Chains A and B, each alone.
Chain A
């Protein structure tokens, strides 16, 4: 039997003790499967002298060659043929390269089971008919951005009556739909049904500011929820003050802070992480988090800053078993969190790179245009 079935259908998404051995075996199977079905991946393992026998305990998971998200942005790795893919998605990089990923039916099935378990644990599933404000892109035929699919996916956790998008599909591109959102919100408020806001924090902040400037103050249904995921940077590159946003949400929409949730996910690691009531991303049974040294990529001790990397056996269509993101983070022991979940949790500490690199050398994109 596929060990993933047992793992991703577990009831309690945080029972690490019970599922430790299962997780380890599922990961090992996953690595072996990819090595057998993706020649480039097998070559990478070989070039780094990796042997699956090294992975005899959870502590050794870091030895599985880790692949940076940048690699997926520039190279397409697959372990199943294109026709076996049920969905394709790309990362939301604004400039330059984007990751292209594809998922097969089985991966998708386990993923959906996991999401249902996970979101019901976090009490984010609801049977009440709900109106949605999606603070992101409307799904379209001309783009496959992962963020769109995530946002759209999360509108299925309560039956959707209507969805209004901040960025509306014009057929060939997108346009900002602030007026439409404002009108929809007023209509939603009048109907008295719960409203859910899903998407990027920067868009939520922009919407809240617009409502405030227009002196709009609503009292939405008490089952209304805000789900925010993505960077907390404004368009001007300044960090948004979270508490200020939650205050604004309460002032303009009447949604309390306990009903505002933050989630984390990545196209190259399509698993959900929702913050607990104390604001922590706990590690669920579906993955392990390894924080890696910024120079050597070796694991660093708990409490130290490094690059956020994940191990998970979810995906069979692509070797996404061990990936390192460009997020910097710190991992903490979970016992002292106090929220009731005692698995380790990570805290995001910004992105690798420089936000505004001071340079006047031509960038690759300009050169590519010049050279084409």
Chain B
């Protein structure tokens, strides 16, 4: 479905609206701007209205296990609350406006964060409700938002946006949702030409496609796919490793901050083998605690992948350690590779002296590292990791958890959706 000016529309109706998108946008922009406080209040009211009875089934319908649906619903409530949003704005934007006389000048200068204008969000379907949150960020920064839904959209985002508009009808003119396929180039170009900036979520392919299509006068804000892993040095306790196992099972390794595998600070493949065997037991326990219902097709794929790895280990230096519901593959190389996901991780040797050289080729794809090491080694390894291009170092259990004011891929996203206006007289 499409959602334009607060109304749900079928494809035919929405196409007519797309034709006059620029004039609809102009109409909204000529009015008084949408106050941030109205957006925050609407989000807060929505956050209070979200309850388990009505909204939990929406998440369960997406195939989420119940414990996860409850947790996610609580998280959405928390992230939409007034206190959270105000804190976030405060951290990301600092003082919204300041007046001063610049050094060496007698001018009176006023600087203020202002919206870019119109954002086109090309959302990915990898995180449930991601398109909704992308639009919320656009609204919080005062922008008008055109949203192109992902191909496999589950309808959750439109539903939440509708509820938000019901609470604050002023938002209606700031949201245009189109449910067209990316292959519909003509429509994509119309949306792009109406936008000041394009916010693109997705892999290199999606990002390159947008780079190729967008006009040079349109800013592109990329939230590309990233890869995360754990780095283990020295003697570590089972409980430290449990955090990593928790992340692997809780996220099924599908997020950019999910742990794909573990690098061990060693040169020895033997040590990697011993560690893998140990980690499999920890992972297995966690997988039992957080059961996951994989469908037939996914299970079959994982079986074939692991079996292929087993056959390959006859001639390559690697070994598969597997149990009923998870696996650990030990490799004797230092490649940073995605795992097979769904509780199948890798372990590889990578001594700290070679860390920088091995990882710097993956620039702009690196995300979170779970660092597990002795306290006295932390600073040294943190420094090396920072140089490689990773944007976040944390514990295993925290890898896919956020906090209020956390940078997104190394940046404050709200700032990227705004411009710093300078008024000087």
Please give the residue numbers on chain A whose beta carbons come within 8 Å of chain B beta carbons, in ascending order. Answer: 40, 43-44, 47, 67-68, 70-71, 74-75, 235-237, 294-297, 305-307, 324, 326, 328, 350-354, 356-367, 369-372
Docked pose: A306 CA to B299 CA in angstroms = 11
Q: State in angstroms the CA–CA spacing of A1 and B314 once bound together.
A: 34
Interface membership of B197, Cβ < 8 A:
no
Contact among A236, A297, A364 for B307, CB-based, below 8 A:
A297
The 8 Å CB contact of B363, one of A351, A365, A370, is: A370
B124 located at the interface, meaning its Cβ lies under 8 Å from any Cβ of chain A in the complex: yes
Interface residues of B in 193-250 (CB under 8 A from A): 201-205, 224-228
| Residue among A40, A43, A352 having the largest count of chain B Cβ atoms under 10 Å | A352
A44 touches B311 (CB 8 A): yes
B286 within 8 A of A: no
Q: Which residue of chain B has its CB nearest to the CB of A294? A: B300
Given contacts A352-B301, A366-B365, A367-B338, contact A71 B312 (CB under 8 A): yes
Given A360-B126, A361-B225, A366 contacting B204 (CB threshold 8 A): yes
The reply to whether A74 and B308 contact each other, CB–CB distance below 8 Å, is: yes
- Name B358-403 residues within 8 Å CB distance of A: 361-365
| Chain B residues with CB under 8 A of A296 | 303
What 1/0 mask marks residues of chain B from 249 to 260 whose CB sits below 8 Å from any chain A CB?
A: 000011110101
Q: Which residues of B contact A294 (CB under 8 A)?
A: 296, 299-300, 303
Once bound together, how far apart are the Cα atoms of A361 and B127, in whole Å?
11
Question: Is B181 close to A, CB under 8 A?
Answer: yes
Partner of B304, one of A305, A307, A356, A360: A307
Known: A70-B308, A294-B299, A370-B364. A237 touches B151 (CB 8 A): yes
| Known contacts A71-B308, A294-B296, A360-B127; is-contact A369 B204 (Cβ 8 Å) | yes
Most buried by A among B151, B202, B315: B315
Within 8 Å by CB of B225, from A70, A235, A366, lies A366
Give the distance in Å from the alpha carbon of A43 to the alpha carbon of B312 in the complex.
10
User: Is there contact, CB below 8 Å, between B258 and A361?
Assistant: yes
Q: Is the pair B203, A354 in contact by a Cβ cutoff of 8 Å?
A: no
Residue of A nearest to B201 (CB): A360
Partner of A362, one of B256, B304, B341: B256
Using a CB-CB cutoff of 8 Å, which residues 300-337 of chain B contact chain A? Answer: 300-301, 303-305, 307-308, 311-312, 314-315, 335-337
Residue of B nearest to A359 (CB): B254
B325 to chain A, nearest CB (A): 10
Q: Does B274 contact A (CB under 8 A)?
A: no
B32 interface contact, C-beta 8 A = no
Are the CB atoms of A352 and B304 closer together than 8 Å?
yes
Residues A40 and B315 in contact in the complex (CB < 8 Å), given A236-B151, A366-B204 = yes
CB pair B341 A43 closer than 8 Å = no
Task: Please determine whether A361 and B338 come into contact, CB atoms closer than 8 angstroms.
Answer: yes
| A70 to B, closest residue via Cβ | B308
A236 and B301 contact, CB distance less than 8 A:
no
Residue of B nearest to A65 (CB): B311
Shortest beta-carbon contacts, A-B, top 3:
A352-B300, A294-B300, A352-B301
Which one of B258, B304, B312 lies within 8 Å of A324 (CB-CB)? B304
Contacts of A44 in B (CB 8 A): 311, 314
Residues on A with C-beta less than 8 A from B254 are 357-361
| B residues lining the A interface (CB < 8 Å) | 124-127, 151-152, 181, 183, 201-205, 224-228, 253-256, 258, 260, 296-301, 303-305, 307-308, 311-312, 314-315, 335-338, 341, 361-365
Quick one: given A68-B308, A74-B312, A352-B297, are A370 and B255 in contact (CB under 8 Å)?
no
A359's partner among B255, B297, B314, B335 (CB-CB below 8 A) is: B255
A-B contact count (CB 8 A): 135
Q: How far is the CA of A363 from the CA of B183 in the complex (A)?
A: 21
Residues of A within 8 A of B127 (CB): 358, 360
Complex Cα spacing A351 to B224, Å: 28
Using known A-B contacts A40-B315, A370-B361, A371-B362, determine if residue A363 contacts B225 with beta carbons closer than 8 Å. Answer: yes
B299-A295 in contact (CB<8A): yes
Residues of chain B contacted by A67 (CB below 8 angstroms): 311
The answer to whether B304 touches A371, judged by C-beta atoms less than 8 angstroms apart, is no
B207: nearest chain-A partner, CB-CB:
A366
**Bound CA–CA A155/B322 (angstroms):** 47
Q: Are B311 and A367 in contact (CB under 8 A)?
A: no
Could you list 5 A-B pairs, sorted by A, with CB under 8 Å? A43-B315, A71-B308, A359-B254, A361-B255, A361-B258
Interface centre among B152, B256, B338 (most CB of A within 10 A): B338
Residue on A with the closest CB to B358? A371
B407: min CB distance to chain A, Å: 16
Given contacts A361-B255, A367-B336, contact A295 B365 (CB under 8 A): no
Contacts of A305 in B (CB 8 A): 296
Quick check: A68 and B307 within 8 Å, CB to CB? yes
Residue among B228, B255, B301, B365 with most chain A CB within 10 A: B301
Q: How far apart sit A67 and B363, CA to CA, in the bound complex (Å)?
A: 36
Are B314 and A367 neighbours in the complex by a CB distance under 8 Å?
no
Interface pair B314/A360, CB less than 8 Å apart? no
A43 touches B226 (CB 8 A): no
Q: Is the CB of A70 within 8 A of B304?
A: yes
Q: Which of B126, B224, B226 contacts A358 (CB 8 A)?
A: B126
Residues of B within 8 A of A354 (CB): 297-298, 301
Q: Which residues in A have their C-beta under 8 angstroms from that of B300? A: 294, 306-307, 326, 328, 352-353
Contacts of B337 on A, CB cut-off 8 Å?
Answer: 364, 367
B203 contacts across to A, CB distance below 8 A: 362-363, 366
A372 to B124 CA separation, bound complex (whole angstroms): 26
Residues of B within 8 A of A357 (CB): 254, 341
Contact status of A71 and B311, CB under 8 A, knowing A235-B183, A361-B255: yes
Give Cα distance in the complex from A363 to B337, angstroms.
Answer: 8
**Chain A residue contacts of B312, Cβ below 8 A:** 71, 74-75
User: Which residues from B are CB-within-8-Å of A68?
Assistant: 304, 307-308, 311
- A305 vs B300: C-alpha distance in the bound complex, in angstroms? 11
A148 to chain B, nearest CB (A): 24
Which residue from A40, A352, A362 sits with its C-beta under 8 Å from B338?
Answer: A362
Q: A43-B315, A360-B256, A370-B363 are in contact. List 10 more A-B contacts (CB 8 A).
A: A68-B307, A68-B308, A297-B307, A307-B304, A353-B300, A354-B297, A358-B125, A361-B255, A366-B204, A367-B227
**B303 adjacent to A40 (CB under 8 Å):** no
Given contacts A237-B151, A359-B254, contact A371 B361 (CB under 8 A): yes
Complex: how many Å from CA A326 to CA B337? 22
The reply to whether B365 and A362 contact each other, CB–CB distance below 8 Å, is yes
Assembly CA distance A364 to B260 (angstroms): 12
Contacts of A237 in B (CB 8 A): 151
Q: Which residues of A contact B226 (CB under 8 A)?
A: 360-362
